[in-house]
Structure 1
Amino acid sequence: MVYLIKSKFLSMMGVIMDFPGRNRLRFPMSPVLISMFVAGCLFFLSCPSVLAADPPVPPSAEWSQVFLDHAAAYSVALAGSHYVVAGGQSSVLWDPYHPPEGLDYWAAVAKLDLSGNVVDWETFDDEPDHNIAYSVIPSYSGPDTIDGYVVTGSRHVAFEEDGHNYYTPYVWLMKVTTNLDTILWQNTFGEPFFHFGNSVIQDDTGFVIGGQKNIGTLSTYAGYMIRTDNSGNLDWEIDGYMFDGGGILYPWIGHGTEIHSIKETSTGDYILGTTSGIIKVNVVSGSPLTHAWTAGDGSYSSVQQTADGGYIGVGSKLVEVAGADDRYDVVLTKLDAGGAVTWSRTFGRLTVGLGGAGLGDRGRDVIQTSDGGYALVGTTQSYAWHGGSDMWLIKTDSGGIMQWDLVLGNEGDDYGRALVEAPDGGFVLVGSMTWEGSMRMWMLKIRPGGFIPPTPSFTYTPDSPFFVEETVHFNATGSTDDNPLDVYDWDFGDDQTGSGSTPDHTYIRPDTYTVTLYVTDDDGVRRETSQDLTAVALAVQWKRSYGDSGDYGWDIVTSGDGGFVIAGQWKWTSTNQDFWVFKTDGQGNVIWDSKFNAGTYSYYRSGALAVTRAHNGGYVAAGYREKMDAYGAKTFDVWIVKVNDDGTMDMDWDDDGTPEGYKYFFTGPDKTEQAYDIEPTGDDGYIIAGYAIREYDPPWTEDTHYRNDMWLIKTDIGGVLDWDETYSPGDLNDHLQGYGVAPTADNGFVVTGNFS
């Protein structure tokens, strides 16, 4: 019975040179080399450019500028017909959001026209003390008259206390001319230890700064607010460490609270974005400020008043999930005029997406857009797919529901810090990009009009659950977009990835896997969809039996149409067997059943021991036929049969003029031979492995000495002999038989079998 089972770059010492659009550029060098360097620059025009050549421009952007080595932009403002950008630069590689431990850094300010061209720029590395700019605004001497730009940040101040020399950052406020080449005034505020100005605004009487300070005895900061007149002279200052006999005067910006954003409200009060939430403070006669309320869950980097009198804030929120890694999500919170939360949205993901670097997503700046919705910029790790972290722009409706987003970046870490809405409705974003081995200021303009995200979709076969080691065919051609999709990326859930719209994948361990398809359109908008698939261990799906007792199935091959072809022998009497080949469908149901005998050459038995798919359609089976030798002994010959796709013998198999669908081979009339395997060869022929009994003295008796030689037979596509070769084990009574054969890459063959 047959069974079938489917089973930077600059320093503080060096030469200063003038270039168009740049007042001073400092290069560290030996005096001996100065004249050579000047000549080289003038003649060869080989001086380094502050603008990167051919920076990447995202498909969603109108322009993109990558500016200064080892630099980052922190703030941008629309100033009439220009954009003004402020940040910092260092002589060493650095984390753009934490100044380097050394003191070699300084503020950088640039002015761009509305087309993104850098028309003026300055770094303040010629100042006697190190400095950095975190916020920039245009300064107005009248409703529409810009008389310069004001920046705040930090500047180091040297002092001596108790016999010790210190050099620490104080809050810095500076005003420069509109072409950036002259400092009109500057001032520092604070006391020993660390102070930073993070945000500055201008009102009717002067400037107000929001920042943070540390008194040196504590490991964290407290909030710090400063008011100056229009010339930067101190009016008042408050901080979270001030106290009198009754305790801390301003606990609402006390220990642990940093002010990252300040805006004036329509009533002349202030709204603050802090690490302790969104804080509303009122301006009251006789007192600098009084606390109105604190709202919002999270750390807020940017706030502003909205058209309806409420407030919008963006930042980051720690999300703690039992059994999973803690993560930071972007948080966007809308408050009403009284500080009550209208809604709060988070943007992030539970797990790192394909290409992502972690679970840290942070919002840095938010604006209300001309359509009543909101735009926010920040940095994503979980959705980053360009390498490291990426800049992240999110556009929402008035209810905070995402309409579209863009993940922007290059290989390495990229950061989003601030944005403004352009006059045409697009968005200008600033931050930093890793480009050519250095962190640089990055400024780009996203075109107006918005973007329609693609809709990913995929199917797969076979259905889940499927078996391990079974090929799964995925198909994402049903994904849609307003334009052709550019990129298909796959995460198969088993630490393996793929690409293309129709990949194949095989799972090797039983488990449930989350397969995620990422599609990216021609605007660079990416979306994803996931499905859970289950791979199970091999198990019997069905079982069939064919024939009866004494029938054998020796080999099986797939038919190419989902079915199977089996080779064996069929017993038709107690002593007679036929060469048996039959075909089933994918469920084991018989499609055709063919039995062959050797005609007048076959006296008793024949059998098919191997089968393979033929080069020209159909199948070729190999085995033996039994015959009687001259002495009356039963011997075997190798027999191969060509079978058509319908199960009939292929009578036109070869072109030797003999109308036969079979071939037989033997080493002599009184020898016995059998074939155990047949495989196709690269020259469209076949290789057969078996054995031949050699060297005995007939007639056959129990005492006859003999040996078995391994036998290889090579035929052409029509079964006609190319060559044959026997391989002897040595002495009589030794036996070598070939049971399996496979072609090798060097056109040879490897054979397996037994030796005794």
Structure 2
Amino acid sequence: MFGTHRTIHGSGGFYGPGARASPVQVRADRRVRLSAVLPAVGCVLLSLLALTVAYADDPLDDFPVPLGTEWAQLYPESFGRSIVAVPSGYVVAGKQNGPSTSSSLDLWTVLVAYGTDGTLADQKTFHLDADHNEAFDIIPSYGAGDTLDGYVVAGAKHQAFSEEGHDYYNPYVWLTKVGPDLEPVWESTFGDPFPDYGYAAFWDGSGFVVSGQYSNPNTSAYLLRTDASGVLTWEASWATDPRWLFMPVIHDVVPAPGGGLVVATESGLHKLGAYTSTSRPPDVALWSVAITDDLRSVIAVPGGYVATGSTQISGDTEHADLVLLKVTDAGSIAWRHTYGRASPTLGASGMNDSGSEVIAASDGGFVVVGTTYSYAWHGSSDVWLLKTDATGNIAWDIVAGDSGADNGAGVVQDAAGALVVTGTATYDEGLGGGPAPWIYAIRLPGGYLPPSPAFTYAPRSPFFVEEPVHFDASGSTAGGPGDAVVLYEWDFGDGSTGTGIETTHTYLAPGSYTVTLFVTDSNGIRRETSQGVTAVGLNVQWERKFGNGSDWFYDLAEDGSGGALLCGINCISSTNCGTWIAKVDNRGETVWNGVYPDTYYGGRDGAQKAIRGHDGHFLVAGFRDKATTGETRDVRILKVHADTGVKIWDKSFNYAGSGDEAVDIKLVPGGGYIVAGYATTGIDVDAWLIRIDEDGNVTWHRTYSNTGDQILRGNAVATVTGGGFLIVGTETGTFSSQPIIAIRTDSTGVEQWRYTIPYEAGSRSTAVKWATQLPDGSFIIAGTLSDDYALIMLAANGSSHEAISWGGTYQYDYIDDADITPDGGYVVTGTRYDPVTDNDTYVARLDNLGNLAWEEGFGDVGVAGENGEGVGYLDDGSVLVLHSDYFDGVMRLTRIGPNALPSGDFVYSPAEPVATQPVTFTATLTDIDGSIVSWIWQFGAGQGEPVETAVRFIDHTYAAAGSYDVSLRAFDDSGGELSVTRSILVGEAPEDLCPADPDKLEPGVCGCGVADDDTDHDGIADCVDNCPSVANADQRDTDGDTLGNACDDDDHNDGMPDAWEKAYLGLDPLVDDADGDVDRDGVSNLEEYLAGTEPAPRVVVGALPAILILLSD
């Protein structure tokens, strides 16, 4: 192991010549097939090469170099197992695959030497036919004067491959020494001809201790020692002592300070007692810890040992974390950390992570190399390099690899402090031209400072499903000087991912999610941070009612601004009905409303489907009743103006029989419309397509028959990319056991193929009224299969179908309408029907794969007759649902959306209002996720129409006393509505004591005819205020002239203005001091004023108070 000084004395024996090839350096921008360098004569030998790799757009052309690495190397058809650092560079040991004449199984040891700059310095394969071998560990060997004299390799070898019972699966433990030139010096094998492996070795001063696996046939620990020449001095296995059968396989071994050995095994860490050059350690461990951990590497450190491997997550056989722990000399755990994801997320191909080797870092911490699946964002698995502090806490990590299975095996830190990692990468340049294992070696400068990821998001949790959430990672920072964050990756916790410093994501299903941001810096260091968020279901924004028990809407069409057009039937009596159309705005308020009876027959007319036309006006498709002429119905299509409801044109179509109806209508790309329904001739009922132009004129029409005498009604139609149509029908218009029949036509209605979706006997099945074509050419039909809701996916060529069905809680679940969402998903509405209890309106949202995101029901328990008729998905993520309530005899239009409604109340003043006096109403509402934009007030019965304001307060005067129900409807900027109603009691108007004064009911302070105004707001009416323009509640009037001091410029009326007196020391504006003589100059104060002279020193503003001292003569 690197960092431990080992000296090997002597050498002996000779290992036969191996295959050696000249190093070949391959340019990064060239793809070289190995077959191009395979010799065609003699024994098949592989010309080995190394490949310097660099970033490229196509990972199959160039294997990616991790960011921040100094160099990266690939070596073909090989597995990297172990690495050592020497002054001249690094040597990697592993195994290489290749051709064999004796078996289809072929492997041999490969040694690859690199210079410190990553150039290929030397290479060696140990390919002797019939003697297959592989390396698991390599250590340097030093001779006299601490001079490097070669390397010792531990592994496995098939000593007699061609003999019976000796094959690839039954090797011996193998120990071999090579010189500095990688040529063999000696070799030894140990064990029985069963699967025995040498996994690790160390030099103990006079020989080698090797750990591994012994099998005969049971698998257990194997521990042996040789002298300096590889001659066995002792061995320990269950063959030497049965108690060793219970010692797990040993993957690594280190000498214990003071004697003994510490071994890393498949079942924890164990300390064995002392040994000598000729006697093995005692069979019973001195201590055992972490026996649930599968440990692969251990090193001795001050005060104990540090080991790494993996640990199984309890209760999950498919989930293991990398484990790193420190054990004291006494065998107690000082600290233990596990690293790996708790659940699959961005890039994870699995949940098994493991450590392969741990080394002590030059800064006192540790470096671990291993393999990760849970963080393998490149592909199947990736090389994982972790740097920790002295207590095992992770400081930074790097994940390296490509789209295949890549794993980390060994790591060293060289004298310059750089880290060099080896392992195995899957690359596309194998012998067969496909993916194959390659030794992977990279050099990193180390000393990284990891980036710090951070993000915010809005709106804050909890937010609504269907509501776009903006995520911002601009608060993330790079770690070191000159570093930069180069990649931002997001895992939103619902199976969706994203990239970019800012991104937006919309959750479809209510629930709690963990959002994780991954940032990668220019060194390839990746860090992550997570926050939990919660998405909640949609709120009902508003609900409107229409009809009076004989009026019904059957469909809606969005108008592009949040409103919709509704269509159906309006009946005055059972024989007098007209097509009913209404337009509502984004608040559900009626814009216009009209009944359109057929002017020719005047019977029962109705509309079953509505669409917004190419020009923005609306078309409705349905029927007109012709009972008065002995016939039944014709197809009827109307076009009405979107803004006014004025009829633009009105067309009817009769096939030739007694019962024709239109059930669906769609826009045709390029202009015009396609109408689907059915035509009746005698007892024959056939599906019917009618192609009309923009003016409602027929371009062509065709009917489609069922087999035999069976009925076929066209229920839905879809346009087909490139021209043509798909009409979907059933045998009846009710829910019963019947097949669904889909017919594909060309652009003129000529049938191309038909496909029958069978039914399950005893269940109900119908295509209802909705079908569409998907971008990939396939079709989606919304309906019911086996009494469950279903989305039926029909192949583009009509060759097959698949169905996604759900429900089952209710006896019959059916869909009556659907709409596509911008993300390729669906909203559907219909009925959840149970004849014993009731049936309710049903609404559901599905993603683009048909997975159910959420579902809602509308209706009262135990009340029948509630059904979903139409549904529309709006741009802001809201859903409009048109549903019938036959129990209450009304149609309901409900908007549910991702928006919190306003909350609060309103107040009014005065608290005890009386008739004829204004009452001020003030809304005290708030909106947590927006703002309130409109207030609509209704002041009670007999108080006029509702009043809409753009401010939260309004005045209203009641003419008469009484109790009034005041209602406030407030709308926020997302269309959400809050309704508040309060009853207020208005008292009788007081007696009018000033009948001639329209502004006063009583005289008040000033009497009738004079307003009790208080201009200066000092509480004293102007009519009695001695200074009405200046507030003077004290009404002080020093000179008694009825002019208050606040308005009097000479308060004492002494002839000297107050302002003049205040300017001189000794004068007082509130005292009659006109005859006084402040300065005793013989001239009175008044005379001084009149003469314009100074009666005394002036007052200096801001000066200290002056003291005037008068001295007598």
TM-score, normalized by the shorter chain, greater than 0.5: yes
CA gap of 1:667–1:14, structure 2 versus 1, over 3 A, is same
Structure 1 counterpart of 2:426: 434
Q: Which residue matches 2:391?
A: 399
Partner residue of 2:649 out of 663, 672, 679: 663
Instruction: Measure, in 1, the Cα distance between the counterparts of 2:294 and 2:214.
Output: 19
Residue 304 (str. 1) matches residue 299 (str. 2): yes
1:67-146 alignment, distance < 5 Å: 67-69=75-77, 71-91=78-98, 104-126=106-128, 129-141=131-143, 145-146=147-148
Whether the 8 Å CA contact 1:612–1:619 is kept in 2: the answer is: yes
CA contact (8 A) 1:626 1:637 kept: no
- Per the alignment, residue 363 of structure 1 pairs with 355
Distance (Å, rounded) in 1 between the aligned partners of 2:573 and 2:580: 14
Q: Distance in 2 between matches of 1:177 and 1:91?
A: 24
Deviation for aligned residue 1:690: 7.8
CA deviation after TM superposition for structure 1 residue 418, in Å: 1.1
Task: After superposing the two structures, state which structure 1 stretch, 517-526 or 312-321, moved more.
Answer: 517-526
| Counterpart for residue 643 of structure 1 | 641
Please tell me whether Structure 1 or Structure 2 has the larger radius of gyration of its CA atoms: 2
The partner residue of 2:309 within 306, 309, 315 is 315
1:693 to partner: Cα distance: 12
> Do the aligned residues in 1 keep the contact of 2:454 with 2:517 (CA within 8 Å)?
no
**TM-score where L is the length of structure 1:** 0.70
Question: Which residue number corresponds to residue 554 of structure 2?
Answer: 554
Output the CA distance in 2 between the equivalents of 1:156 and 1:637: 87
Q: How does 1:276-355 map to 2 (within 5 A)?
A: 276-281=267-272, 283=274, 289=281, 292-297=286-291, 298-306=293-301, 308-321=302-315, 324-325=316-317, 327-349=319-341
- TM-superposed deviation, 1:199: 2.0
CA RMSD of aligned residues (A): 5.6
Write out aligned runs for 1:89-238 (5 A): 89-91=96-98, 104-126=106-128, 129-141=131-143, 145-157=147-159, 169-180=171-182, 182-189=183-190, 195-203=196-204, 205-212=205-212, 214=214, 216=216, 218-229=217-228, 231-232=229-230, 236-238=233-235
Quick one: structure 1 residues 254 and 150, their matched pair in 2 at CA, closer, same or farther if it must change by over 3 Å?
same
Question: How far has the Cα of 1:302 moved from its partner?
Answer: 0.9
> Which amino acid is 1:374 matched to?
F
Partners of 1:689 and 1:713 within 8 A in 2:
no
CA pair 295-101 structure 1, distance change in 2 beyond 3 A: farther
Return closer, same or farther for 1:474/1:59 CA change in 2, 3 Å cut-off.
farther
Displacement of 1:439 in angstroms is: 1.9
Task: Tell me which of the two structures has the higher relative contact order, counting C-alpha pairs closer than 8 angstroms and 6 or more residues apart.
Answer: 1
C-alpha distance in 1 between matches for 2:398 and 2:534:
29
Could you say which residue in structure 1 is the equivalent of 2:265? 274
Question: In the alignment, residue 199 of structure 2 is paired with which amino acid?
Answer: N
User: Residues 579 and 215 of structure 1: is their aligned pair in 2 closer, same or farther, counting only changes over 3 Å?
Assistant: closer
Q: How many angstroms apart in 1 are the aligned matches of 2:573 and 2:99? A: 92
- Distance between the aligned counterparts of 1:681 and 1:200, measured in 2? 77
Task: Deviation per CA, 1:593-622: give whole Å up to 9, x if none.
Answer: 422668999989976554212334353445
How far does residue 390 in structure 1 lie from its aligned partner after superposition? 3.1
* Structure 2 unmatched runs, 5+: 1-14, 26-34, 54-61, 429-434, 478-484, 706-710, 733-1113
> How much has 1:419 moved relative to structure 2?
1.0
Using the alignment, how far apart are the partners of 2:667 and 2:381 within structure 1?
A: 53
CA offsets, 1:605-656, max 9 Å, x none?
9765542123343534456899999x9x999995634333xx4247xxxxxx
Q: In 2, distance between residues paired with 1:81 and 1:464?
A: 60
Shift of the 492–270 alpha-carbon distance from structure 1 to 2, 3 Å rule, reads same
Superposed displacement of residue 430, structure 1: 1.2
How far residue 133 of structure 1 moved from its aligned partner, in angstroms, is: 2.2
Kept after mapping to 1: 8 A contact 2:272/2:286: yes
From the two aligned structures, give the one with the greater strand fraction. 1
- 3-state SS of paired residue (2:392): coil
Amino acid at match of 2:381: S
Q: 1:517 to 1:458 in 2, by over 3 A?
A: farther
Measure, in 2, the Cα distance between the counterparts of 1:665 and 1:159. Answer: 90
Q: Deviations over 1:387-438 (max 9, x none)?
A: 4433322333333233443343334332221111345544321121222232
Indicate the larger mover: 111-120 or 191-200.
191-200
Give 1:680's aligned residue.
Answer: 667
Give CA-to-partner distance per residue, 1:97-146, whole Å, 9 cap, x none. xxx99874332111111222211111122598443322212223367632
Counterparts of residues 479-494 of structure 1 (less than 5 Å) = 481-482=476-477, 483-485=485-487, 492=494
Residue range with higher mean Cα deviation, 477-486 or 512-521: 512-521
Aligned counterpart, 1:443? 441
Paired residue type of 2:331: G
> Where does residue 239 of structure 1 map in the other structure?
236
1:408 aligns with 2:378: no
Equivalent pair of 1:169/1:196 in contact (CA under 8 Å) = yes
Change in 2 beyond 3 A, CA 1:164/1:609: closer
Q: Is the 8 A contact 1:678 1:688 kept in 2?
A: yes
Change (3 A) 1:336 1:551: same
Match of 1:378 among 370, 382, 391: 370
Deviation at 1:486, TM superposition (A): 5.7
Q: Check whether the contact 1:418–1:429 (CA below 8 A) recurs between aligned residues.
A: yes
Q: How much has 1:269 moved relative to structure 2?
A: 5.7
3-state SS of 2:331 partner: coil
Could you tell me how far 1:546 is from its partner in structure 2?
A: 0.7
Q: Assess if the C-alpha contact under 8 Å between 2:688 and 2:714 holds in 1.
A: yes
Shift of 1:447: 4.7
The alpha-carbon distance between structure 1 residues 615 and 726, as it changes in their structure 2 partners (threshold 3 A), is: closer
Once the two structures are superposed, residues 557-590 of structure 1 have per-residue CA deviations (whole angstroms, 9 ceiling, x without a partner) of: 234445443123556799976664334567x843
Say if 1:569 and 1:577, in contact at 8 Å, map to a contact too. yes
Cα offset, 1:381, TM superposition:
3.8
- Is the 1:103–1:130 Cα contact (8 Å) retained in structure 2? no
Return the alpha-carbon distance in structure 2 between the equivalents of residues 327 and 727 of structure 1: 61
- Per the TM alignment, residue 188 of structure 1 is displaced from its structure 2 partner at its CA by 4.4
Q: Secondary structure at the match of 1:400?
A: coil
Question: What amino acid is aligned across from residue 558 of structure 1 in structure 2?
Answer: E
In 1: Cα distance, 2:472 partner to 2:402 partner: 29
Percent identical among aligned pairs is: 28
Q: How does 1:582-731 map to 2 (within 5 A)?
A: 582-584=582-584, 589-595=588-594, 610-617=609-616, 619-621=618-620, 640-644=638-642, 647-649=643-645, 662-665=648-651, 678-687=665-674, 712=690, 714-716=692-694, 720-721=695-696, 723=698
**Structure 2 counterpart of 1:704:** none
Change (3 A) 1:85 1:574: closer
**Which amino acid is 2:64 matched to?**
V
Taking the aligned partners of 2:633 and 2:109, their CA distance within structure 1 comes to 98
Question: Which residue number corresponds to residue 44 of structure 1?
Answer: none
1:503-542 aligned at under 5 Å gives the runs 521=520, 523=524, 525=526
Cα pair 2:379 2:404 within 8 Å, conserved: yes
2:254 corresponding residue in structure 1 = 263
Secondary structure of 1:19's match? Answer: coil
Residue 670 of structure 2 aligns to a residue in which SS?
coil
**CA distance in structure 1 between the aligned counterparts of 2:317 and 2:661, rounded to whole angstroms:** 65
Between 523-532 and 399-408, the greater mean CA deviation after superposition? 523-532
Q: State the distance in 2 between where 1:103 and 1:667 align.
A: 78
